[in-house]
Amino acid sequence: MGLLAGRNVLVAGAGVTGRSAAEALLAAGAAVTVTDGSADRLAALEPLLPGVALVPGLAAPPPEVELVVTSPGWRPDSPLLSAAAAAGVEVVGEVELAWRMGLELADPPAWLAVTGTNGKTTTVGMLESILRAAGIDAVACGNVGLPVVDALLAGRRVLAVELSSFQLHWSPSVRPAAGVLLNLAEDHLDWHGSFEGYAAAKAGVLTGEVAVAGVDDPYVADLLHRSPAAVHVGFTAGAPEEGQLGVLDGHLVDRAFGPDTVLAPVADVRPGGPPGIADALAAAALARAHGVSAEAVRRGLRDFRPGAHRAEFVTESGGVSYVDDSKATNPHAAEASLRSHESVVWVAGGLLKGASVDDLVRTEAHRLRGAVLIGADRGVIAAALSRHAPSVPVAVLDDATMEDAVRAARSMARPGDAVVLAPAAASMDMFNDYAHRGRAFADAVLAVVGTGHRRS
């Protein structure tokens, strides 16, 4: 940790990531200042971080600052980070900080990294389960919730790291032992400025020794082809070619790491359907790159349980299933969610963050029984439905509660349908976060239709 000792470091942001970064910097011997726009957040840190200077609302780094560690959501054009760049002060993220601190260890942990527009959290959860089934001291960290510096300082041997595009933007030197790019679709364009900028950030995960990517998407396949990694591995929903993982005769099959190997039955993968299978193939590829056996892959996938609000079954009533996929916070994730059902009443809406829903609606119109739209950008989704699915009944609800939305969806549904909350948008217009939105949906379903039948 010697490179940080005695250095003056400014931490931008007093949330979970900022606190962990500040603690790690203190432990490394740095002189630490934390700034945030919220004086209350800074005050909450005071008893937790003795010895740290807490300064609200800095618009420029103090003259003595040599490094800025930013929380991932802070944009490069924010006043503080712009001023730091203009002054020649390096700006990195907490993930980059963890990487640099790891390089100073005699025996640093292996990084197995995951990014993509959709499926990141499920994939790192599957990967963690597989690694633990192999007896490896591993933990899921990064964008999944546990800061990477905390996992590093806890001494974990393998880090299953979920990386957002923001985190990758602020991590210029991270080179994971193996990294996977799951998929790409429009998201966070308001932050990155363009799809190309977003894709370039995501492609940072492919710069280590082994690069893995979903080759059914030509754009992603091209990024894999152009990766500087020594080893390129694709995964596909179809039968795999040499150098790929894929699906053959109802099983996940590895044709990339050694002789052709059957890994696990498709029936063991949860969540099921094409998105879950793709995530399982990606997780298996990273685990196999680390030398994990096929048997551990099978046991890890069999034991894995998806997290809350990710294609989570709520109840069934009158032959209609109700599914909470509040984690589908962009159009690509919502498209994957809808594809898991034959006939859907779609509950959607929120903050689209500049993304278009036209491709989603055009592709999935044939399976829509109806749509119930809420939130700030409900009108944008309604217009796309009008253009590409004019025969689909649509309820656009102004100033609606989630119970209003569930009642409207219930009135459209028929036996055999699924009412699916797959918002295609962020939640902060109406809710604290996607988990709050998902709980509101589940509570509304149980209030409107009753407990029905629950799956084990």
Query: Quick one: how far is CA 234 from the chain centroid?
Result: 20
The annotation status of 120 as a binding-site residue, yes or no, is: yes
Q: Is 119 annotated as a binding residue?
A: yes
Task: Tell me whether residue 118 is annotated as binding.
Answer: yes
15 is in an annotated binding site: no
> CA-CA distance, 84 to 87, in Å (whole number)?
5
Query: CA-to-CA distance for 422 and 286, rounded, in angstroms?
Result: 28
Side chain identity at residue 63, one-letter code = P
Cα end-to-end span (Å), the chain: 48
- Residue whose tokens read 């498709």: 266
CA 28, 33, 38, 39 torsion: positive or negative? positive
Could you list the residues known to form a binding site for ATP, using ranges: 116-122
Indicate the annotated binding residues. Answer: 116-122
